[in-house]
Amino acid sequence: TLFQHDGVGTFRPLRRDDLAAKRLHRERYVLPSGTAAAIARTRARGGRVVAVGTTTTRVLETCADAASPGHVCAREGETDLFLAPGDRFRVVDALLTNFHLPRSSLLLLVCAFAGRERVLDAYRRAVDAGYRFYSYGDAMLIL
């Protein structure tokens, strides 16, 4: 379990100063000790961490344990983490997410995770197949 409070900033188009500052709007979260322990057990068994959603991804990567790669520290706070192409993911191994709109931080995060060309190819195929985009649309699982 992970608690997050999505802000309206999630849905606002990116601004140039967002890119320059490499920071986004702040969102509150709680990552309980039980969740951190479950991730540690999963890693110990050789399992993968699958994030459901981009906000969950931001929280997990915010809570990444620098001393123990692939693990997270239980904590609560706010994150303004901005994940974009070129960034490394330290916790998340797979991502289930919607098809996001252009010029959004959400799409940049997905491109950072899976690679820009791979994502754009998937988006072209989704458009051709008539998939629905955004929060109440279709989703994709990136392994």
Written as six digits, the tokens of 126 are 């989704």
> Average pLDDT, stretch 68-84?
93
> Taking 70 as the threshold, does the pLDDT of residue 102 lie above it?
yes
- pLDDT confidence bin for 87, thresholds 50/70/90: very high
Written as six digits, the tokens of 29 are 């979260």
Write down the domain spans for the chain.
Answer: 3-82+89-142
Question: Could you give the count of Cα atoms lying within 13 Å of 50 in the half-sphere of its Cβ?
Answer: 8
Its pTM stands at: 0.87
CATH class of this structure's domain 3-82+89-142:
alpha beta
Spatial neighbors of 32 by CB under 8 A, at least 6 apart, are 1, 2, 3, 74
Written as six digits, the tokens of 42 are 């999963």
Give the span between the Cα atoms of 94 and 101, in whole angstroms.
20
